[in-house]
Amino acid sequence: MSATSTSTRLSATKIAAGLAAGELTSQQVTREHLERIEAVDGPVHAFLHVDADGAMAAAAESDARREAGAERGPLDGVPIAVKDVLATTGLPTTCGSKILEGWVPPYDATVVRLVKEAGLPILGKTNMDEFAMGSSTEHSAYGPTRNPWDLERIPGGSGGGSAAAVAAFMAPLALGTDTGGSIRQPGAVTGTVGVKPTYGGVSRYGLVALANSLDQVGPVTRTVADSAALHALIGGHDRRDSTSIDQPLPDLVAAARQGAAADLSGMKVGVITELSGEGWQPGVMSRFTESLALLEQAGAEVVEVSCPTFVHALATYYLILPAEASSNLAKFDAMRYGLRVLPEGVDSPSAEEVMRATRDAGFGDEVKRRIIIGTYALSSGYYDAYYGQAQKVRTLISRDFAAAFGSVDVLVSPTAPTTAFKLGEKLDDPVAMYLNDLATIPANLAGVPGISVPNGLADEDGLPSGFQVLAPALADDRVYRVGAALESALAAQWGGPLLDRAPALEGVSL
């Protein structure tokens, strides 16, 4: 069977329509995705764990519900992949780390519970940089995920597994998490759509925290409308997450539909001065400039806006994140769950010796690096100079956003400075790796929502680039409206989605 004739090529919205019309069954759709995983995930390695039995059982239940006219919502029966940082009962949750190898949570993350309750079969858990630390998925303890556009290249990170699964048609939908760009940057380099919602807009309960004040769960899809539908499903207040916002989400699906009409008249779009220039790949910048022109054609007014403190965002982020992470990761001590390593050559070791041996064996280098940085930044005598100072700069970055949104409706930039780099290329240079998230980090520091929409292939390498739209907190609808407008203008220009141009992958081996 050729890839184009199966449901795997359909968007989630189209699959949902097919299910509603009785043209598709969830079992057929789920089976075809499982077959696709079987066919292409060997080389891509987007999944850490595939739950074929669980997914098929959920699909059968969905079909039975639909038969009985008792479907639970528009996405009932549409399969989904879940990033391995979200707790799932009955399925391993490793966070890409050896230290959690074999751990099966006794509870579901709130977003997982919502997805299950809405009837979406869970295909499996997707690969990621260990504890979401990275921009390439090379820091997974279980081996890297490869970019479906070029298997020699990285799929972005930390959510490279979710992005690659969606880009390679192994799942129509995936859940990701975004702490500094881990949804949006993989979206950009794999030609997929990814959204980081407003901080507090989606529950973090059951998301194994990287940096609690920055993390958000969000959708990973191939179309803006699909992201809106998934976001609407997982969003909203959760009493188990004290930081979740107790007010209704704007109508995201309607905003995406409105945007698809490519009418942005009355909208003011601000181009962030600081997020371009030296170090930005020319092909990425060309696509960005063309996209701006399309927005203008759709009726938007495009202006340049300066956010001067954004140049400090990366440094700020790499103090706040490790500080929170160093504390979060302390719980992995071999006492209650996960890996337990006994120190060699020690008779009846103490609890402290077991903790030390386990953490040494269970954590990878990048995790250790950030634990050390974070511990240092919080230490007595250094706190004010590092963590305290970073929090002050964070406030200034929020003020820059507030000032900018005083004059424009949305802010835009390229999602990532470059297209996908080669595996191993930046592994020995952490700072070069960190620079990938230059454009995505400010949104996490300020808690504002952002989307990355694929906007073409760079001339130099023929690889996808992404267009980022940022909006004020709680105005997530704006990123969908602008994102959908750009998506529809580009599709009209290209005569179809960008991913149609990606390699087929079947029969490819490494």
Partner 1 sequence: MTETLMDFDAVLAAYDPALGLEVHVELNTATKMFCGCPASFGGEPNTQTCPTCLGLPGAMPVVNGTAVESAIRIGLALNCSIAEWCRFARKNYFYPDMPKNFQTSQYDEPIAFDGWMDVVLDDGETVRVEIERAHMEEDTGKSTHIGSTGRIHGADYSLVDYNRAGIPLIEIVTKPILGAGERAPEVARAYVAQLRDLIVALGVSEARMDQGNLRADVNLSLSPSGAGTLGTRTETKNVNSFRSVERAVRYEMQRHAAVLDGGGSILQETRHWHEDTGITTSGREKSDAEDYRYFPEPDLVPVAPSREWVEQLRGTLPENPTAKRNRLQEEWGFSDLEMRDTVGAGALGLVEETVAAGVAPQAARKWWLGEMARRANDTGTEISDLGVTPAQVAEVQGMVDAGTLNDKLARQVFDGLLAGEGTPAEIVEARGLAVVSDDGALSAAVDNAIAANPDVAEKIRGGKVAAAGALIGAVMKEMRGQADAGRVRELILEKLT
Indicate the residue among 75 and 377 with the shorter CB distance to partner 1.
Answer: 377
Single residue of 297, 379, 395, 407 touching partner 1 by CB under 8 A: 379
Size of the site for partner 1 (CB under 8 A): 44
Contact call for residue 247 and partner 1 (CB under 8 A): no
- Alpha-helical (H) ranges within 423-474 are 430-434, 441-446
Contact call for residue 103 and partner 1 (CB under 8 A): yes
Dihedral over alpha carbons 212, 216, 217, 219 (to 10 degrees): -160
Contact call for residue 209 and partner 1 (CB under 8 A): yes
306 is catalytic: no
Sites for partner 1 among residues 352-371 (CB under 8 A): 352, 355
Contact call for residue 336 and partner 1 (CB under 8 A): yes
Indicate the residue among 66 and 83 with the shorter CB distance to partner 1.
Answer: 83
Contact call for residue 341 and partner 1 (CB under 8 A): no
Indicate the burial class of 425 (C-beta count within 10 angstroms; 0-12, 13-18, 19 or more): middle
* Residues 96, 142 contacting (CB under 8 angstroms): yes
* Residues 482, 469 contacting (CB under 8 angstroms): yes
- Determine the Cα–Cα distance for residues 367 and 374; give it in Å rounded to an integer: 10
158 is catalytic: yes
Single residue of 241, 251, 290, 425 touching partner 1 by CB under 8 A: 241
- Determine the Cα–Cα distance for residues 115 and 176; give it in Å rounded to an integer: 13
- To partner 1, the closest distance from the beta carbon of 498 in angstroms equals 34
- Determine the Cα–Cα distance for residues 411 and 440; give it in Å rounded to an integer: 12
- Which SS3 state, helix, strand or coil, does residue 61 take? helix
Of 26, 83, 276, 413, the catalytic one is 83
- Determine the Cα–Cα distance for residues 374 and 378; give it in Å rounded to an integer: 6
Q: Considering only 22-30, 34-42, 322-330, 499-507, which stretch makes contact with partner 1 by CB under 8 A?
A: 322-330
Contact call for residue 211 and partner 1 (CB under 8 A): yes
- To partner 1, the closest distance from the beta carbon of 382 in angstroms equals 10
Contact call for residue 93 and partner 1 (CB under 8 A): yes
Of 11, 97, 136, 182, the catalytic one is 182
Q: Position of tokens 């188990």?
A: 240
Secondary structure in 3-state letters for 347-415: CCCCHHHHHHHHHHHHCCHHHHHHHHHHHHHHCCCCCHHHHHHHHHHHHHHHHHHHHHHCCCCEEEEEC
The partner residues of 124 in beta bridges, in order of sequence, read: 50, 81
- Determine the Cα–Cα distance for residues 334 and 131; give it in Å rounded to an integer: 17
- Determine the Cα–Cα distance for residues 75 and 304; give it in Å rounded to an integer: 39
| Backbone angle region of 349, left / alpha / beta, with phi > 0 → left and psi within -120 to 50 → alpha | beta
Backbone angles phi and psi of 106, in degrees to 5:
-85, 10
Single residue of 37, 80, 141, 208 touching partner 1 by CB under 8 A: 208
Indicate the residue among 293 and 330 with the shorter CB distance to partner 1.
Answer: 330
Indicate the residue among 107 and 494 with the shorter CB distance to partner 1.
Answer: 107
Contact call for residue 240 and partner 1 (CB under 8 A): yes
Contact call for residue 207 and partner 1 (CB under 8 A): yes
Contact call for residue 213 and partner 1 (CB under 8 A): yes
Q: Considering only 351-359, 360-368, 465-473, 474-482, which stretch makes contact with partner 1 by CB under 8 A?
A: 351-359
Single residue of 52, 73, 152, 243 touching partner 1 by CB under 8 A: 243
Contact call for residue 293 and partner 1 (CB under 8 A): no
Contact call for residue 306 and partner 1 (CB under 8 A): no
The upper half-sphere exposure of residue 28, i.e. CA atoms within 13 Å in the direction of its Cβ, equals 12
Single residue of 96, 105, 201, 466 touching partner 1 by CB under 8 A: 105
Indicate the residue among 92 and 430 with the shorter CB distance to partner 1.
Answer: 92
Contact call for residue 109 and partner 1 (CB under 8 A): yes
Residues with a known catalytic role: 83, 158, 182
